[in-house]
Structure 1
């Protein structure tokens, strides 16, 4: 039986790491604040998947939506363009001034256009 859907634990861990960096925390602090064990975070760094309770705790702590990391063989639902999502996130980041968000947005869009693969 082939899997029709799966959880992209690697992408979730990368996003979790970005949340950690954004909050200027180390992994021990993440473990304490989220209520998961440090060993769970270590296992995730090694490519292992968290258990359901650990995933829920980390999603609640980080504000990440676990649905964003569910992958399927057939992506039938319309998804927002990644560039649009980046722009939205930058402009809603409380750590950036309006001018900084616009500057980063323009830089990313220019780089994206330059490096984009033609479909």
Structure 2
């Protein structure tokens, strides 16, 4: 099975994480990524591999979170999937999502 990148989820999570900060500030924060590249990603374009990895690290999720198909890549953890879906949620406030993510982290770290 061929795998592809869920650019919609990546764009949503990038937008959610940056909040009200400008793309130039985020580009500096991530390092090695231009604000123009971030803008294209927020518009649903596919980033190069290095940029993709940097953004995933900055967002705080596994690269596997955004891979559709391709079982050879391995399973995405339940924790990563739940957090990815929460961050992409449009109904809940950002503060609510952040609180839920903290609760999930605490639950997984207490095992």
TM-score interval, smaller chain: 0.5 to 0.7
Residue 40 in 1 paired to residue 34 in 2? no
Say what the alpha-carbon RMSD is for the aligned residues.
Answer: 3.4
Residue 29 in 1 paired to residue 39 in 2? no
Q: Which of 60, 64, 69 is the matching residue for 2:61? A: 64
CA distance in 2, matches of 1:7, 1:32: 24
Query: Partner residue of 1:90?
Result: 100
Aligned to 1:50, the other structure's residue is in SS state coil
User: Which structure 2 segments of 5+ residues have no match?
Assistant: 87-96, 104-111
TM value normalised by structure 1: 0.57
Aligned residues: 88
Q: Which has the larger radius of gyration?
A: 1
User: Which structure 1 segments of 5+ residues have no match?
Assistant: 94-119
Higher-RCO chain (CA-CA 8 Å, sequence separation at least 6): 2
Query: Partner residue of 2:10?
Result: 12
Once superposed, which parts of structure 1, at least 4 consecutive aligned residues long, lie more than 6 Å away? none
TM value normalised by structure 2: 0.60
